[in-house]
Amino acid sequence: ETGVTQTPRHLVMGMTNKKSLKCEQHLGHNAMYWYKQSAKKPLELMFVYNFKEQTENNSVPSRFSPECPNSSHLFLHLHTLQPEDSALYLCASSQEGRDTQYFGPGTRLTVL
């Protein structure tokens, strides 16, 4: 789905690094989401933003910090991560909350 882009596609970071993931949607949607996908587990919702307001934080550790400056852009700021945070991080958007979600290609994160 080229309507949602994510950068970078791959990221390797040490436990003391600070990095950010970026997501941009070109679909005119109002809601954006961050998901974590680990091997052998269902997709886990992390954060939801609706009209730039955070409406859900699914008990995510504070080392993950989201930012939504407008309805087209979403960031996930990372700091002092743990090796178990290594996963595929997916961004999604929808026309409004509870509607069909469209996903980006994901960022493959490896924490050393």
Partner 1 sequence: EDQVTQSPEALRLQEGESSSLNCSYTVSGLRGLFWYRQDPGKGPEFLFTLYSAGEEKEKERLKATLTKKESFLHITAPKPEDSATYLCAVSVRGGSEKLVFGKGTKLTVNP
Cα 105 to chain centroid, rounded: 11
- Which residues are at the interface with partner 1 (CB under 8 A)? 1, 4, 6, 31, 33, 40-43, 45, 48, 50, 55-56, 58, 88, 90, 92, 94, 97-98, 100-106, 108
Q: Which is nearer to partner 1, 18 or 58 (CB)?
A: 58
3-state SS class at 85: helix
Q: Could you tell me the smallest distance in angstroms from the CB atom of residue 96 to partner 1?
A: 8
C-alpha–C-alpha distance, residues 18 and 61, integer Å: 15
Question: Do you know the residue count of the chain?
Answer: 112
Could you tell me the smallest distance in angstroms from the CB atom of residue 97 to partner 1?
A: 4
Instruction: Write down the least CB distance from residue 19 to partner 1, Å.
Output: 19
For β-strands 102-103 and 10-13, DSSP reports them as unpaired
Torsion sign, CA atoms 102, 107, 111, 112: positive
| Of residues 55 and 82, the one with the C-beta less far from partner 1 | 55
65 pairs with which residues across the strands? Answer: 77
Q: Nearest distance from residue 44's CB to partner 1, in Å? A: 8
Query: Closest CB to partner 1 among 19 and 108?
Result: 108
